[in-house]
Amino acid sequence: MIHAAGVAEVTDADFEAEVLGERGRPVLVEFTADWCGPCRQLAPVLSAVAAEQADRLKVVQIDADTNPDTVTRYGVLSMPTLIVFRDGEPVQQMVGARPKRRLLQELEAVTAPGPAVAATA
């Protein structure tokens, strides 16, 4: 698997605990594979996002070739596929490598602090 520095690896065995069980911050999961060229391009982007957004976003990778149960469960057909989970549910999916700025823009909705509750008079 192409490993992004500072990004944890999850497997079929611990996906539920590490991703679905995470509460309080969304989890960005990259489905990757050794043979995937665009995954190599995305690795430094994921490393940077993981470091910069650590307080608001958990970033993990899963090797699609060695974890077929999770790949099948979420219908992943292309690498890299990025799925954002919030409170155990997939809320956003992106396919393909992208520059850091674009990825951060796409993640804004899930990493932004929740809306403030409006005061009623």
pLDDT digits over 43-93, tens only? 999 999 999 999 999 999 999 999 999 999 999 999 999 999 999 999 999
Q: Is 114 a catalytic residue?
A: no
Phi, then psi, of 98 in degrees rounded to 5: -155, 155
Of the residues 36, 49, 79, 82, only one is catalytic, namely 36
| Cα–Cα dist 40/10, whole Å | 18
Confidence class of residue 115 from pLDDT cuts 50, 70 and 90?
Answer: low
Of the residues 28, 39, 43, 64, only one is catalytic, namely 39
Q: Is 113 a catalytic residue?
A: no
